[in-house]
Amino acid sequence: MADTVEDTVLNPDVLTKYRTAASIALAVLEEVKSWLADGEKIIDLCERGDELVEKRLGTVYKGKSVIKSTNTPVTISPSSFVTPFTPLKSDTEDAELKIKAGEVVKIQLGAQIDGYGAIVGDTVVVPQEKGKKAEITGREADLLLATHYANELLLRLMVPPGLLATGSEDEKKKAAAEKAPTQSKIISLVEKIAKAYEVNVVQHTTSWLFERNDIEGKKKIILAPADGSKGDGTPEVGEVWGVEVGMSLGSGKVKELDKRSTLLRRTNTTYGLKRPSSRQTLSEIVKKFGTFPFSLRQLEDEKAAKVGVIESIRAGVLREYKPSAEADGSAVSRLFTTVAITKNGLTRLAAPPALDLDSIKSDKKIEDEEILKILERPTSKSTGSKSKNKKKKKKPAKKAAAEEEDDSDESSDDE
C-alpha cells in the first residue's frame, strides 16, 4: 500500500480531483472522435480539442487557487505513428497533414487539476463522413481486437494479489500471499495475445505510476523492452497508473521521424539559462503547465517558442518527445487508460470506450486457457446487486469484454 494517504486516491479529495480531470478528458475525447472524417486537418482537430479542454477546465474549481491545465495536449497520430503527434501551424508541411477514411489513427489527451492528472487514448478507424461508423474488417480488425484484449489482460494483472479474493479468511490470506506477476510474465502473456492475432507489440510500450505533478513516477511496466530497458515495481493499493498498450501490424520496431519535436515536458533539472528569450519561454511553460507535457502551439508565440526552448532542451531542462513511427510503415494502434487502485479493486478513471466486439470480426481468436481465465477475472469488487437475465454463455474472451462495462459501472462507487 502507498506510504502516505494525503496525496493518494485513498484521500477522497484527491480522488475527486482525479475523477474531475478524467471526466473532462473523456468528454473531450468523445467530442474529438465525432469530428473525425476524411480530409480533416490534424492541426485543426488538435486546436479545437485543446480549446474544449480549457473551456471545460474553466467550469470546475472556480474561484479556488487550484492550478488546472491540459495533462497532455490533444494529439492525433496518423496510421504508422507511434508517439503522440501534435503539429504546428508554423511547420507548413505538417500543418497540411490530413486524416483519411479507413485510416487507423490514435487520439490521446489529458487534463490535470491541482497536479492530479488523467490521460486517455483511443484508436479509431476514420469514417468517410463525420458521425458515421467506419467498417472494420481484415487486418485492422485483428489489430484492434489484439489491442483490446491485451489491454484487458494487463489491467487484470495489475490488481494486487488477494485484493478481490472471496471465501474463508484462510482462503483470502492464501490469495493475498501470492506474488504479483513478474514483468517477464506480463510480457509473455501479452505477446501470446499479439501472436494469436498475428501482430506485434510496439517497442517500449510503457505503463507508468502517476504521482502528483508527475506522469512518469518511479514504477513502470515495459512491454517489448529494447536497448537494455526494463520495468520496475508492481502496482499497489492507493496508486494511480497510466496504462498503455500498443500493437502493430508490422514489426513493432520503432524509428525516429525527421520531424520537429513539438511535444515537450519540463524535467526536474535546474540550469541557469543564459538567453532572456529562453528564460521567458520557460517561465511561461512553468506557469501554464508545470511539469506536464505541452505543445509548442499552446504557447503565446509559437514561432518565438521554437527558438525559446532550444537552450532548455540542450541543458536537459526540457525533455522532447521525439516523433517516431513503425519502422516498416505499418499501422499501429494504442490504448491509454488511467486507473486507480483502491481497496475495492481497479477503478477506470479515464478509459477508452469498450470495443464493439459484435461489429468487429476476425478469423483469429485467443485459445490459450491461461489467458482466457485471466480475462474472465473481475477488476473490482461488486458494490451493488446484479439483476441480470441469465442468457446463454458467451465465449470466455467476449465475456471479459462484457464484464469490462460492469466493472466500470461498479467501480464508479469505489473509494
Q: Is residue 386 a part of any domain in this protein? A: no
Q: Decide: helix, strand or coil at residue 174.
A: helix
- The reply to whether 244 and 310 lie within a common domain is no
Q: Is residue 291 a part of any domain in this protein? A: yes
- The reply to whether 236 and 199 lie within a common domain is yes
- The reply to whether 342 and 314 lie within a common domain is no
- The reply to whether 107 and 64 lie within a common domain is yes
- The closest of 175, 120, 185, 134 to 370, measured between CA atoms, is 185
- What's the one-letter identity of residue 134? A
In this structure, what C-alpha cell is assigned to residue 414? 469505489
Integer Cα distance of 327 and 334 in angstroms: 16
Q: Is 21 exposed, middle or buried (0-12, 13-18, 19+ CB in 10 A)?
A: buried
- The closest of 20, 43, 183, 164 to 99, measured between CA atoms, is 43
What secondary structure letter does DSSP report for 301?
-
- The reply to whether 91 and 229 lie within a common domain is yes
- The reply to whether 266 and 256 lie within a common domain is no
Q: How many residues does the chain have?
A: 415
| Residue-level pLDDT at 167 | 84
Query: Domain span at residue 268?
Result: 261-322
Q: Report whether 344 contacts 383 (CB < 8 A).
A: yes
Q: What is the pLDDT of residues 60-70, one digit of tens each?
A: 999 888 899 99
Q: Is the pLDDT of residue 289 over 60?
A: yes
Integer Cα distance of 230 and 76 in angstroms: 28
Number of structural domains, the chain? Answer: 2
Q: Is residue 351 a part of any domain in this protein? A: yes
Q: What is the pLDDT of residues 308-334, one digit of tens each?
A: 999 999 999 999 999 999 999 999 999
| Residue-level pLDDT at 135 | 86
Residue 98's DSSP bridge partners are 41
Q: Report whether 33 contacts 57 (CB < 8 A).
A: no
Phi-psi region of 158 (alpha: psi -120 to 50; beta: other; left: phi over 0): alpha
Q: What is the pLDDT of residues 212-240, one digit of tens each?
A: 999 999 999 999 998 888 899 999 999 99
Q: Of 407 and 134, which is predicted with more confidence?
A: 134
CA dihedral 321, 338, 24, 215 (to 10 degrees): -40
By percentage, how much of the chain surpasses pLDDT 90?
Answer: 81
In this structure, what C-alpha cell is assigned to residue 160? 494486487
Query: Residue 268 belongs to a domain with what CATH number?
Result: 1.10.10.10
- The reply to whether 152 and 181 lie within a common domain is yes
- The reply to whether 142 and 171 lie within a common domain is yes
Q: Is residue 408 a part of any domain in this protein? A: no
Query: Residue 205 belongs to a domain with what CATH number?
Result: 3.90.230.10
- The reply to whether 47 and 61 lie within a common domain is yes
Q: What is the pLDDT of residues 169-220, one digit of tens each?
A: 888 888 888 999 999 999 999 999 999 999 999 999 999 999 999 999 999 9
Q: What is the pLDDT of residues 348-363, one digit of tens each?
A: 999 999 999 888 989 9
Q: Is the pLDDT of residue 123 over 80?
A: yes
Q: Is residue 407 a part of any domain in this protein? A: no
Average pLDDT along the chain: 91
In this structure, what C-alpha cell is assigned to residue 361? 470480426
- The reply to whether 25 and 163 lie within a common domain is yes
- The reply to whether 165 and 247 lie within a common domain is yes
Residue reference for cell 508492481:
234
Rg (CA), the chain: 21
- The reply to whether 254 and 265 lie within a common domain is no
Longest Cα–Cα distance of the chain, Å, equals 70
Q: What is the pLDDT of residues 84-102, one digit of tens each?
A: 999 999 999 999 999 999 9
Q: Decide: helix, strand or coil at residue 285.
A: helix
